[in-house]
């Protein structure tokens, strides 16, 4: 579910159909119901009830001054037993480039239950970069008292990492759709 209401440029909408063809249900506005020329977008009503759905529910909170507080928009998010809030960290971004920055960033977000090391540079990602991310994110996680749930890496590089990264975190393999999500 797409909850990024601040800067929906990289949101799921443009690839909604493609994802649905793969069996995912996507809760996001169709393009023709966008905000008539402005970047911000009103949320669809079904977003409010997303946690009532069956199966795995993934909420893309986006970024913003309110951090994870955006979850307030989803009915039951404050008390759902299975809900986990994961902060996806890319140390290649200047705002989260050091351990201190990552710690400060995660504290700003509010409720966070774990970190994901998603360090990358798009097409120019290297294994060394991913491993460097794993080291920094793991160090930050220790300071925060949070687990590192995974390191994520594109499928092209996954064989070079193996099942675990340099810090022993499990590796999740990504297939990138977002390059097609520009609109």
Partner 1 sequence: MKGVQIQPAMPRSWRPETKPHKFCPGCGHGIVLKALGEAIDELEIQDRVVFGCDIGCSLLAWDFFNVDTVQTHHGRTTPVMVGMKRANPELIVVAYMGDGGGYAIGTQHLVNAATRNDRITVILVNNTQYGMTGGQMAPTTLPGQKTETTPFGRDPELTGYPIQGPEMVASITRDGAYVARGTVAKPRQLKGFIKRALQNQMAGRGFSFVEALSTCPTNWRTNAEDTWKFIEKEMTKYFKVGEVKVPPELARGKGEREDG
Partner 2 sequence: MPAKPKPVEGEKKVFMTGNEVVAWAAAAAGAECMYGYPITPQNEIMHYWTRLAPKFGLIFLQTEDELAAGFTMLGGVLAGRKSFTATAGPGNTLMQEPLSMAEMMRLPAVVVIQQRGGPSTGQVVYSQQEVTLTSLGGNGEGLRVVYSTSSHQDLYDYTIKAFNTAWRYRFPTFVLGDGYQGKMREPVVMYDPELRGVELVPAEPYVGRPGTPGVDRPPAHLRNAYSIEEELYEAVMELVREYEKVAPEIVEHEAFGVDGARVVAVAHGVVFRAVKGVVRELRQQGVPVGYFRPITLRPFPADALRRVAATGVRLLVVESAYGQLARLVKEALSGLPAEVHGLYKPGVLVGQGEIATRIKTLVQGG
Q: Which positions touch partner 1 (CB under 8 A)?
A: 5-7, 33, 35-40, 42-43, 45, 47-48, 64-66, 69-73, 75, 77-78
Q: CA angle, 157 as apex, 103 and 170 as ends, to 5°?
A: 50
For the bound state, the minimum distance from the C-beta of residue 88 to partner 2, rounded and expressed in Å, comes to 28
CA separation for the pair 13, 133 (Å, rounded): 29
- 49/183 with CB nearer partner 2: 183
Q: Which does 125 bind (CB under 5 to 8 A by kind): partner 1, partner 2, none?
A: none
- 39/84 with CB nearer partner 2: 39
What are the C-alpha distances in Å from 82 to residues 56, 63, 78, 128? Answer: 10, 22, 11, 34
- 14/147 with CB nearer partner 2: 14
For the bound state, the minimum distance from the C-beta of residue 37 to partner 2, rounded and expressed in Å, comes to 4
Tell me the site size for partner 2, rule CB under 8 A.
9
For the bound state, the minimum distance from the C-beta of residue 52 to partner 1, rounded and expressed in Å, comes to 13
CA separation for the pair 47, 38 (Å, rounded): 20
Question: Pairing between strand 114-117 and 86-89?
Answer: parallel
The Cβ of residue 174 has, within 10 Å, a number of other Cβ atoms equal to: 16
- 25/69 with CB nearer partner 1: 69
- 44/114 with CB nearer partner 2: 44
Q: Which residues pair with 172 in a beta bridge?
A: 152
What are the C-alpha distances in Å from 169 to residues 66, 127, 166? Answer: 29, 14, 7
Residues in region 8-47 near partner 2 by CB under 8 A: 31-38
Two tokens at 144? 């925060």
Q: Which does 31 bind (CB under 5 to 8 A by kind): partner 1, partner 2, none?
A: partner 2
For the bound state, the minimum distance from the C-beta of residue 47 to partner 1, rounded and expressed in Å, comes to 7
What are the C-alpha distances in Å from 113 to residues 45, 69, 82, 134, 147? Answer: 27, 14, 11, 17, 8
Which residues lie near partner 2 (CB under 8 A)? 31-38, 183
């Amino acid at each position: 579910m797409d909850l990024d209401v601040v800067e929906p440029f990289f949101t799921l909408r443009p690839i909604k159909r493609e994802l649905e063809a793969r069996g995912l249900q996507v809760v996001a506005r169709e393009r023709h119901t966008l905000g008539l020329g402005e970047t911000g977008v009103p949320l669809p009503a079904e977003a409010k009830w997303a946690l009532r759905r069956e199966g795995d529910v993934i909420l893309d909170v986006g970024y913003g001054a309110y951090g994870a507080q955006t979850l307030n928009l989803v009915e039951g998010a404050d008390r759902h037993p299975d809900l986990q809030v994961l902060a996806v960290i890319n140390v290649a971004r200047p705002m989260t480039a050091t351990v201190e920055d990552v710690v400060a960033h995660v504290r700003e977000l509010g409720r966070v239950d774990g970190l994901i090391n998603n360090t990358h540079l798009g097409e120019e990602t290297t294994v060394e970069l991913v491993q460097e991310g794993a080291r920094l994110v793991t160090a930050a996680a220790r300071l925060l008292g949070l687990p590192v749930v995974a390191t994520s890496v594109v499928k092209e590089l996954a064989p070079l990492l193996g099942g675990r990264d340099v810090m022993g975190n499990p590796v999740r393999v990504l297939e990138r759709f977002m390059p097609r999500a520009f609109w």
